[in-house]
Homo-oligomer: A and B are copies of this chain.
Amino acid sequence: MHEIPYTPRQTSYDLNPSDELNDLRMSDKTQPLFEHVKKFIAETVEPMTVEYMRLGEKKTDPWTFAPGQLEVLQKAKDKAKSEGLWNFFLPDAHTGEGLSNLDYAYIAAELGKSPLASESMNCNAPDTGNMEVLERVGTEAQKKQWLEPLLNGEIRSAYVMTEPGVMSSDAKNIACTAKLEGDEWVINGEKYYISGLGDPRCKIMIVMVKTNPDAPPSKQQSQILVPVGTPGVEVLGPMHVFGHDHAPRGHMHMRFNNVRVPKENILLGEGRGFEISQVRLGPGRIHHCMRTIGKAEKALDYMVKRGLTREAFGKKLAHLGGNLQIIAQARCEIEAMRLMVLKAAKAMDVLGNKEARVWVSMVKAMVPERTCRIIDQSIQMHGATGISQWTPLAEMYTDVRHLRFADGPDEVHWMVVGRHELTL
């Protein structure tokens, strides 16, 4: 007899087994597209990437693209667009673009395996998030001026949120200010890790600012469009990611010094910045996770190949010590992560981004951490070659490691999941 009686909770997680939520199949209509994407990556993107990197080796100024680099990339983009491999990321858009989140999840995993695949098919961050925001909340004029060329892959964009002085993954902490003076917003503040701002094709920024310091905490922020090149925008230098500056796109440290933009550059309206970031963050976060599944697969591909080709102590490395178990556990983790990402994507499709947020937080906290571990194990199986430029593993590691705090640190996502659990 237990003193503490048990009544099973009926949680939202196990209520309706027959629900559509548990149907994780890609739609039949997307299957040919999926095959097409894989073929396009193998036959067009990968060879282009080799050429792109070869060209890049010759440049002298890191902060430019090498001659020819943008051309080969653009050629792949043109081909992708002409073949309909374009803008998969934007479900239910008025523009008619996009797949369901679930269908996109399968495709994004393939995109994640190849460093230039996303951009080749116009599915690259942060443009995807910026396009989604413009499509969802932009005025007709804003859409015409910025969304159209972005959807066409003609320009690129930056998302300017993170600040060095505060925990800015919580938008409420934003310190950068915008004050209305006459018909203009006057922006002042410091930002960092503004990815892609070094790219000459980057033409527009969406900037998170504080406009209403006296409003309730979630009504103080706004998001404002600031064209690159507006006077007062000062780039202080590149931030590094484990020593890389990722020139020429870069992750910029910058300052707004009395930067003035027209009043109508605000998105959605004053004090609605937090609301907009809700629109943005669900998809943004899950796109990262979808692509990360592909990276985990890639790390395992490398691990298996190494394990079958390298020998030591008279055995194939795959059969030495605990290596076979490491390989098996990586496979198991990948399948578990894949199913969780698919479920979160389906939840967004079925329940909407808001209701799906706990699923998104789960995968955002789960996927990068575990993928880091898999990549790290793949590195270890390669020895020094694993951290060298001869494999993509080190680069993949730093990239995925960075996701553990980008768009909210793991700890904040666990807090979201935990708090929800307490209400069940």
Contacts and interface: CB of A to CB of B under 8 A. Distances in A.
Copies in the complex: 4
A415 interface: yes
Nearest to A28: B18
Interface in A52-86: 53-54, 57
Contact of A404 (B110, B193, B380, B417): B380
B414 A6 contact: no
Contacts of A415: 321, 324-325, 328
Interface of A: 1-4, 6-9, 11, 13-14, 16-20, 22-28, 30-31, 34, 38, 42, 46, 50, 53-54, 57, 106, 109-110, 113, 162, 164, 167, 169-170, 173, 192-193, 239-244, 297-298, 300-302, 304-305, 307-308, 310-313, 318, 320-322, 324-325, 327-329, 331-332, 334-340, 342-343, 362, 365-366, 379-380, 383-392, 394-395, 397-398, 401-402, 404-406, 409-411, 414-419, 421-422, 424
Contact of A422 (B304, B311, B321, B337): B304
Contacts of A8: 38, 42, 110, 113, 297-298, 301
Contact of A26 (B17, B106, B239, B311): B17
Contact of A417 (B7, B242, B331): B331
B388 A421 contact: no
6 contacts: A2-B390, A243-B394, A304-B422, A322-B325, A328-B415, A336-B366
Contacts of A328: 362, 365, 414-418, 421
Given A19-B25, A170-B312, A384-B193, A243 B410 contact: no
Among A42, A241, A328, find the residue whose CB has the most chain B CB atoms closer than 10 A: A328
A418 B325 contact: yes
B3 A18 contact: no
A37 to B, nearest CB: 11
Among A27, A338, A365, A389, find the residue whose CB has the most chain B CB atoms closer than 10 A: A389
Contact of A380 (B25, B300, B409, B417): B409
Nearest to A325: B414
B422 A307 contact: yes
Contact of A414 (B9, B324, B398): B324
A17 B34 contact: yes
A57 B244 CA distance: 15
B389 A240 contact: yes
A336 B336 contact: yes
